[in-house]
């Protein structure tokens, strides 16, 4: 049985890159290069399906594409725009609070520093790393449930939590892959390497993947 290691990680990720061309990339990737929309779409995406996040982001960004424009909206206007994302009322309040901090503390700009981003309400390591990599093109490793699951399923890391996975990848993953690793594995996880019953029969990596933790596959 194969295993993904640093001996074959370049080839594995090239295969994933070719494979995912047929699928739609995660919604937050759509807003790369713009720190504000990247940050806001990330906050909307928490515990929400990608299709719902995509539609909510589009509606909200028709109304506001800067912190100043967003705080000018009422909580009710934001709620209507982002519904039905999970916890939409709470997120509407969070978005206004985050934007007010950006205005008061950062002159309306999203900071390009991981530790500064982590001080913003609702921003965890996953969101902060996404903003750093997508919007500012700095090296970072974003780990969501897909990245955590697949990295362990491959046997590339052996960890129990996404944060442990991030730290393990920072030690092991070649730096040239840091900025793209999340995009590749999230798209793979959403479309093929599902949490339960992954499509192993359709995966070109089946001979290299030890399928650790997989009980049922198709």
Nearest to 122 by CA among 185, 67, 58, 41: 41
Q: Are 39 and 64 in contact (CB under 8 A)?
A: no
Specify the pLDDT at position 153: 97
Query: How high is the pLDDT of residue 33?
Result: 82
Spatial neighbors of 78 by CB under 8 A, at least 6 apart, are 60, 70, 92, 95, 96
Q: Do domains 9-24+140-202 and 27-135 have the same CATH topology?
A: no
The full set of domain ranges for the chain reads: 9-24+140-202, 27-135
Give mean pLDDT in consecutive 10-residue pieces for the chain, a chain of 218 residues.
91 97 83 91 92 96 98 97 97 98 98 98 96 95 96 98 98 97 95 95 94 94
Residue in the block written with tokens 């609702």: 122
Beta strands in 8-165 (DSSP E): none
Q: What are the distances in angstroms from CA 20 to CA 17, 185, 201?
A: 6, 9, 16
CB atoms within 10 A of CB 172: 13
Distances (CA, A) of 105 to 66, 67, 112, 204: 15, 12, 13, 48
CATH code for the part of the protein at 9-24+140-202: 1.10.1670.10
Tokens representing 194 are 């599902």
pLDDT at 2: 80
Using an 8 Å Cβ cutoff, are 166 and 144 in contact?
Answer: no
- Superfamily (CATH) of domain 27-135: Hypothetical protein; domain 2 (1.10.340.30)
Structure-block tokens of residue 170: 């920072």
């Amino acid at each position: 049985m194969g295993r993904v290691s640093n001996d074959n990680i370049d080839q594995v990720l090239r295969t994933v890159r070719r494979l995912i061309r047929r699928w739609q990339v995660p919604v937050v990737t759509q807003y790369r290069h713009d720190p504000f929309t990247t940050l806001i779409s990330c906050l909307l995406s928490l515990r929400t399906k990608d299709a719902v996040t995509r539609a909510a982001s589009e509606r909200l960004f028709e109304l506001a594409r800067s912190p100043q424009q967003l705080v000018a909206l009422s909580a009710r206007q934001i709620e209507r725009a982002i519904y039905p994302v999970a916890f939409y009322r709470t997120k509407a309040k969070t978005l206004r609070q985050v934007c007010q901090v950006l205005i008061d503390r950062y002159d309306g700009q999203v900071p390009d520093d991981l530790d500064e981003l982590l001080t913003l309400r609702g921003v965890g390591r996953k969101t902060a790393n996404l903003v750093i990599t997508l919007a500012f093109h700095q090296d970072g490793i974003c780990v969501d449930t897909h990245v955590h699951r697949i990295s362990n399923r491959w046997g590339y890391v052996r960890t129990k939590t996404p944060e442990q996975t991030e730290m393990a990848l920072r030690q092991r993953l070649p730096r040239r892959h840091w900025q793209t690793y999340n995009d590749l594995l999230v798209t793979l996880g959403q479309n093929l390497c599902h949490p339960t019953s992954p499509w192993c029969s359709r995966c070109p990596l089946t001979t290299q993947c030890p399928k650790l933790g997989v009980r049922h596959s198709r």
